[in-house]
Amino acid sequence: MKITKRNKEIQSKLDKTKEYSLQDAVKILQQNSKVKFVESLDCAIRLGVDPRHAEQMLRGTVSLPHGTGKKVSVLVITKGAKNQEALDAGADYAGFEEYIEKIKNGWTDVDVIIASPDTMSELGKLGKVLGPKGLMPNPKSGTVTQDVAQAVKEIKAGKIEFRVEKSGIVHTSLGKMNFQTDQLVENAKTFINTIIKMKPASAKGQYVKSLYLTTTMGPGIRISKDEYSVRQA
């Protein structure tokens, strides 16, 4: 990948042999975020797990205290009175047959799909469409639930889903760079703590191998082990 002039300038200010605190890393990234749009703060954690083993396939959700700063579009697949409950809670779309048909025809223009359990027999048939896009509702992520209104509120408020990739890396966005520094640090700590608490019993050796913060267009900054080594002890 070609390194841009801006990234070269930022990297020249970083000590590549140094690990930074969350606070310092966020400040450096904010000071050097000078593109024409508001970048996101991204976090990548390399874990000592083998996702090929089911018990080490980390997948979960976390509610970031200050949200993500992104507008998330939500579709709720449900029936009857719950349609209005979902819309009142902030869902962008809610319904059953009409949206099943739209998805069959290739429509997936949403960020999250929530479903009530009584619709999953039909929605489950659309796994080939929704699965590759990460849109298939799942009880483990709280997107298959009777309380669709509460699920909508949580997602709109900043609840995110994450899962470990085949390479053992968990990657997610932690907010926008125009947030206050302390807000981004608190979001990062909440996410890191959640990952650490989910350590599989079968995972051997060092659990968190490395942790980097970066922005949409910026370089990665390695975070000090002091920020997570105590928590994983």
pLDDT at 233: 45
Q: Express as a percent the part of the chain with pLDDT over 70.
A: 91
| Mean pLDDT for the stretch of residues 192-200 | 93
pLDDT at 13 over 60: yes
Nearest Cα to Cα of residue 135 among 110, 156, 163, 158 = 110
pLDDT at 57 over 60: yes
pLDDT at 105 over 50: yes
Nearest Cα to Cα of residue 110 among 84, 79, 133 = 133
Band the pLDDT of 205: cuts 50, 70, 90. Answer: confident
> Each residue of 208-226: pLDDT tens digit?
999 999 998 888 899 999 8
pLDDT at 35: 80
20 burial level (CB within 10 Å; 0-12, 13-18, 19+): buried
> Each residue of 137-150: pLDDT tens digit?
988 888 999 999 99
pLDDT at 181 over 70: yes
State the pairing for strand pair 93-95/74-77.
parallel
Q: Cα(117)–Cα(143) distance, rounded to whole angstroms?
A: 10
Mean pLDDT of the chain: 89
| Mean pLDDT for the stretch of residues 166-192 | 95
pLDDT at 187 over 70: yes
Band the pLDDT of 5: cuts 50, 70, 90. Answer: low
**What are the beta bridge partners of residue 144?**
115
| Mean pLDDT for the stretch of residues 186-196 | 95
The CATH fold assigned to 5-67+160-227 is Ribulose 1,5 Bisphosphate Carboxylase/Oxygenase (3.30.190)
CATH 3.40.50.790 fits 74-156, yes or no: yes
> Each residue of 62-104: pLDDT tens digit?
999 999 998 899 999 999 999 999 999 999 999 999 999 999 9
State the pairing for strand pair 169-176/40-47.
antiparallel
pLDDT at 59: 86
Does pTM top 0.85 for this prediction? no
Q: Cα(7)–Cα(182) distance, rounded to whole angstroms?
A: 24
Q: Cα(60)–Cα(47) distance, rounded to whole angstroms?
A: 15
Which tokens is 53 given?
A: 């083993």
> Each residue of 157-177: pLDDT tens digit?
989 989 899 999 999 999 999
Q: How far is CA 121 from CA 71, 100, 125, in A?
A: 29, 11, 7
CATH 3.40.50.790 domain range(s) in the chain: 74-156
CATH 3.30.190.20 domain range(s) in the chain: 5-67+160-227
- Phi/psi of residue 5, nearest 5 degrees: -60, -40
